[in-house]
Structure 1
Amino acid sequence: MAGQETHYTLPRPSFEAAPKLLLVVAPYYRDIADNLIAGAVAEIEAAGATQETIEVPGALEIPPAVGMAERLSDFDGYVALGCVIRGETTHYETVCNDSSRGLMLLGLQGLCIGNGILTVETRAQAEVRADPAAQNKGGGAAAAALHLIALARKWGGRQKPVGFVPAGGEASLAAEDDLSTTR
């Protein structure tokens, strides 16, 4: 049984400047969401970071909300929290796959995201996973985001260009940057 296994946990990262995280929560199952939030907030506070929490209607809305926050706000990282319990239709697969895929695509673009969207067969499984005194998946998602923030800060020097580089390569890009500062 998964609840009885032990797993290695990385030491909590430390930060010179406190990170600011956004918890994006789909509270469809309110009690489960509240436990996920409690675990995440405790982990964030233990790392000396700060957080804000927003709610969206469901798990499918979490990736777009994270994407909007990245474009329109100033968070260092994101924690996705929610729960999808298998039902009688294939909607479960759609919600699980698409919410996970959306978060992964954002992560591959460089966003620091901890995925705490539970995908379970039963409510009992969700309750154990969400409980801060049991599996604490909310805390685990927050820890994942914090570790990614630490990596981003470690490697946070000059950003490499993405995609097509025009003739002249990076020298042309540097010249364009110089021109844009004199305009």
Structure 2
Amino acid sequence: MFGADKGTADKLDGKKLHIGIVQARFNEGITNTLAAACREELIALGVQEKHIDHVLVPGALEVPVALQAMAEADKYDALVALGCIIRGETYHFELVANESGAGVTRVALDYQLPIANAIITTENLEQAVARQTEKGRDAARVAVEMANLLGELN
């Protein structure tokens, strides 16, 4: 089994990795906290700050196209998608949540590039606030672990 003999520390070693972050500005109070937590965790995992590229897009629907451009650059070991979609009174929530999620997955599969999807979807602002820091940290850990796994598999 791939990765079975590697310890957790090896799986979360980001020293040699280049990571790209795409952050949606919509609900920026939440997405700024997601981004800060993600960057802090990436650095704690050994990713050099100079090897973290961070771009902003207007909203969650724009995240996949920026991820795709970064994937085409062929310089990243993993990418991170950050955003926040809070349910409203219309169907727009479902459309944005479903299409942004599908777009992120499509880019990951098309480019065989790990993408940690931390576009959080919540019922209300309180749920978003409760999740923002841990989801940012978790996205960093997922990106590093999956970059190392794919590096091992390839």
Same fold (TM over 0.5): yes
Q: Displacement, 1:11?
A: 3.5
Answer yes or no: is the 8 Å Cα contact 2:21–2:55 preserved in 1: yes
Q: Select the residue among 27, 30, 35 that pairs with 1:29.
A: 27
Q: Which amino acid aligns with 1:107?
A: A
Matched residue, 1:116: 118
Q: Give the Å deviation of 1:108.
A: 2.0
Aligned residues: CA RMSD? 1.7
Query: Quick one: percent identity of the two aligned structures?
Result: 34
1:147 is matched with 145
Higher Rg of the two aligned structures: 1
State the alpha-carbon separation in 2 of the partners of residues 77 and 108 from structure 1.
12
User: For the residues of structure 1 that align with 2:65 and 2:122, how far apart are their CA atoms?
Assistant: 22
User: How far did residue 49 of structure 1 move?
Assistant: 1.0
Following superposition, the deviation at residue 16 of structure 1 comes to 8.0
Name the counterpart of 1:82.
83
1:160 equivalent in structure 2: none
2:53 counterpart of 1:52: yes
Unaligned runs of 5+ in 1: 1-9, 157-183
Please list, as runs of the form range in 1=range in 2, the aligned pairs for 1:1-183 lying within 5 A after superposition. Answer: 11-12=8-9, 13-15=11-13, 18-50=16-48, 51-109=52-110, 110-130=112-132, 132=133, 136-156=134-154
Question: Are residues 72 and 126 of structure 1, via their aligned partners in 2, closer, same or farther at CA, if it must alter by over 3 Å?
Answer: same
CA distance in 2, matches of 1:15, 1:99: 29
User: In the TM superposition, what is the alpha-carbon distance from 1:73 to its structure 2 partner?
Assistant: 4.9
Worse-superposed segment, 87-96 or 26-35: 26-35
> What's the secondary structure of 1:19's corresponding residue?
coil
Change over 3 Å in CA distance of 1:15–1:127 after alignment to 2:
closer
Aligned length: 143
Q: Identify the structure with the greater helix proportion.
A: 2
Kindly indicate whether structure 1 or structure 2 has the higher relative contact order, using CA contacts under 8 Å at least 6 residues apart.
Answer: 2
Corresponding letter in the other structure for 1:122: N
Aligned to 1:168: none
For structure 2, list consecutive stretches of 5 or more residues without a partner in the other structure.
Answer: 1-6
Looking at structure 2, the residues matched to 115 and 86 of structure 1 have their Cα atoms a distance apart, in angstroms, of 18
Q: TM-score, with normalisation over the residues of structure 1?
A: 0.73
Normalised by the length of structure 2, the TM-score is 0.86
